[in-house]
Amino acid sequence: MRVWIVVALCLAGHAMAAPVSLLCVCVCVCVCVCETTVGINPVQIETGEFDEAIQIEEDFPAENPCLNHHCKKGKVCEIDEENNSPMCVCQDPSSCPAAAGEFEHVCGTDNKTYDSSCHFFATKCALEGTKKGHKLHLDYLGACKFLETCVDAELSEFPLRMRDWLKNVLVTLFERDEDNNLLTEKQKVRVQKIYENVKRLQSGEHSLDLLAHDFEKNYNMYIFPVHWQFGELDQHPADGFLTHTELAPLRAPLIPMEHCTTRFFDECDADSDKYIALEEWAACFGIKEEDIDKDMVL
Ligand SMILES: [Ca+2]
Ligand SMILES: [Ca+2]
């Protein structure tokens, strides 16, 4: 239980400052830390400050083609000398900044610990096009460790806690929203209804029995939070399906704390096509088929 509260607080705390994909916020500290800022010209001269600057500018192209050319994680921009165009090439893991501590370690699905997500993605890039590379994903944050097997009884507890947590995250965002536009106007209207409902189970530590009872009694309050979370994750591309990569911001920080995370999301993919469709997602959170609404995700 504590796990969800900690992550929720973390989310809510960061959400104020960064109206980006909210569930990415926490993880970004660790996962995106190595997303290379490409295209910074190493010889950037303040013109006008020194006379020499004018001469130096003439020696270098006026604009570095790598400026504003973004490469995905694990790749860096290099200039193709033949036609002076930018291209993304795999980053050498040895060029990644040294990890500042163990907290930067990540565990891959190959059960190997990588110094940082930068080292992980650079390694994955080098395996691009191979079966091994295709199967390799960032599994969770932190060094690889022994995770207990998730048994059926524990698996059924997972959605109880997560639904409650999602609802509380939304309510917290609503409370803190004001001018930060953490939620769209449409979303605010939906969350306001939950927020103002006197029957709402206040956030705190609740027994599983109480969470189950509340889901039954106040089922309607959980429909939107489940849809909202799907929309937050379904961004690359927003196509109604979650890939392993899209799910990573939610999975990666949770797995070390909630050992049923992997099994839960694996089983969410009911047809085992490696994508979690909205229908599959909603079903594994106990949302009835007739309440699934694609418009709620937008
Ligand atoms: Ca998608
Ligand atoms: Ca599927």
* 86 and 20 fall within a common domain: no
Q: Is residue 61 part of a domain?
A: no
Same domain, 161 and 99: no
Output the domain CATH number for residue 244: 1.10.238.10
How confident is the prediction for the chain on average, in pLDDT?
Answer: 83
Residue 9 has pLDDT above 50, yes or no: no
**Pair 133, 181 in one domain:** no
Has residue 65 been placed in a domain? no
| Model pLDDT, residue 33 | 32
Identify whether residues 103 and 227 lie together within a single domain: no
Domain that holds residue 88: 75-141
Q: How far is the CA of 243 from the centre of ligand 1 (A)?
A: 6
Same domain as 246, residue 169: yes
**pLDDT tens figures, 94-138:** 999 999 999 999 999 999 999 999 999 999 999 999 999 999 999
Total number of domains in the chain: 3
219 and 91 share one domain: no
The answer to whether residues 227 and 126 belong to one domain is no
Looking at the predicted structure, is the pLDDT value of residue 222 above 90? Answer: yes
Q: How far is the CA of 247 from the centre of ligand 1 (A)?
A: 9
Query: pLDDT at residue 158 above 80?
Result: yes
Q: Are residues 217 and 127 in the same domain?
A: no
pLDDT at residue 105, rounded to an integer: 97
Ligand 2 centre distance from Cα of residue 83 (Å): 43
**pTM, two decimal places:** 0.74
Calculate how far, in angstroms, residue 250's C-alpha sits from the geometric centre of ligand 1.
14
Contact 216, 56 (CB under 8 A): no
